[in-house]
Structure 1
């Protein structure tokens, strides 16, 4: 504390005494239990000044949040998708922790097993994919001649739907910058996003209990038990959907591979992987996959083309009425019309990512409506 001689000449002694009194009072407030003192009285919420400032601050905060969300849309999508995947992986981690695995070991085990499975799959699939890609490049001139020949089936389809022009426009794009260079940038951006997504998912899974507890602490104490029950039910639905959807996609890819190998359809491994990836997207994914595979089957023969269409129609019925109800039907109970609308809206808002998360989000909203909104409406 400065001595009277060290204080500035313009300092008012009365002000200094007032500040010294405040310092002494602050020292008395600080205790071991509350080193920063107890909270003071709240402001009068009915004061016009408080009301005006609260309203202005609310408008400013909402505007700022909107600007932040618009500016960080891509980053927020990655964060949300990573949290979505972490909730989906959590059941496997929880299963290990119930068997007395430390959480860090359970998380490490799940990701190591997942990476080993992915590595084994790529080791087995890459040689076949390279071979089939080489075959496609070698046969591309023949496909081009068939497309230009009006007497062939492929030529008739090309004449009617202008397939060749659309494919060339898709590959070349608006000049070199939009074609090869743009494709390179897109691949680099996709790889970067995948790496960021994996890292975020690992961190989210590792800290999910603390994230869960921190989120529930934002809810008032009187409502917290009810919020925990509803929130944990939502987590269960999301986890069941993620694991179930992944299992169904693997089944779709394996069955497609078997079918294509039986009938000698070219690029069987490449098409099976495409089917498995597209089947992750509800409703429309399997339809698009069926169209792509059927068109490739048309290069074999017309009967194989028709049989492949029948295969995908039959598989779609089996998936909708047997696999989905048994694998994820118990976790996510969403009416069919809500499923279709949710996928359409999610796809329109966030593209493929929105379509992927649309069904569990719809299930969570239905749960909130059933448990919160309907009871309140019934009491009014």
Structure 2
């Protein structure tokens, strides 16, 4: 019986290629019934200078390229992280529906539909008044910028020294760009949240498969605890900010402050950002209320200050509780660092990231240091 196609030998003439011919003979002798390509050779010496140098150089190139990709895609990565965090927070709702007999795909679809319907209802109730108030505010700022051209007025003299017209026009144009970016970001986060929520089990399994098998059970316990903390914080913070927006709208409407709906939405969004968000929101509301009268400004400020005390000492402990367990000094530092690195989104994610880091430090790093 002739040789099979897989064992076909290519004839190599002897002479100048004698070394290759000898290698051909040795290669043919290596074949065995269970090893058509011969047994594996000796493993590469991982301690050789070439292997160590090549591996180190390749590692540096991979690290530099990965850092470059992270920097270039930082905005998208932050949106993905926010969406994944919301998916983590919404996953217990899917699990609750699935535990009551609803198939998991239908449970995921029900939660996603609830999100879309809630957002659509909010937009239907507020979109047209919001657009009207934003247009009126932009027009007011434009008229104020035109008034600065009068050199005989106080605004004209201030404009000649501080160039107020340029700042006002920058606020109008920058506000329009920010509004478009915010709408785009919200849409992307919504879509990514639904995708992450639908594939959460697969994503969770893939992340845990990256951990060595011996450490995987412990990693699952710690990872699930991190998921619980991140989800509880984000959803609780979102609920508290919604209450803040409603209270702010009622207060501004009561005192007849213009642009009440627009300002209340700004306050609710900024309330998501710990520490700094509250301060910026208070300054913005006080500035607009001051255009009505000084007593109105003081009244609005007093009501919002009382509500802030209630929020910090009653709502947040009840809604979020001690699940996050981040010390105050860590909260301030984390928010400052997060805002510098990724703006508002970084400040929003700073506390759950800090909570996860503290959990890993307490459960992994400190016990390892105590044993060493």
TM-score (norm: length of structure 1): 0.81
Aligned-residue Cα RMSD (Å) equals 3.8
Q: Structure 1, residues 65-117: CA drift from partner, whole Å, max 9, x if none?
A: 22222333233223222222221222222222222222211111111111111
In structure 1, runs of 5+ residues without a counterpart are 30-36, 173-178
Cα distance in 2 for partners of 1:3, 1:363 equals: 59
Aligned positions of 1:1-380 closer than 5 A: 7=10, 14-16=22-24, 18-19=26-27, 24=32, 43-133=44-134, 136=137, 166-171=167-172, 183=176, 190-380=182-372
Distance change >3 Å, CA 315–CA 21, structure 1 → 2: farther
Cα distance in 2 for partners of 1:123, 1:301 equals: 32
Distance change >3 Å, CA 137–CA 190, structure 1 → 2: closer
Cα distance in 2 for partners of 1:188, 1:139 equals: 20
Helix, strand or coil at the partner of 2:257: coil
Helix, strand or coil at the partner of 1:317: helix
Distance change >3 Å, CA 75–CA 125, structure 1 → 2: closer
2:138/2:172 contact within 8 Å kept = no
2:274/2:348 contact within 8 Å kept = yes
Distance change >3 Å, CA 209–CA 143, structure 1 → 2: same
In structure 2, runs of 5+ residues without a counterpart are none
Query: Shift in Å at residue 8 of structure 1?
Result: 6.6
Query: Shift in Å at residue 125 of structure 1?
Result: 1.1
Of residues 66-75 and 305-314 in structure 1, the stretch that sits farther from structure 2 once superposed is 66-75
Where does residue 176 of structure 1 map in the other structure? none
Distance change >3 Å, CA 320–CA 147, structure 1 → 2: farther
Helix, strand or coil at the partner of 2:368: helix
Helix, strand or coil at the partner of 1:333: coil
2:145/2:164 contact within 8 Å kept = no
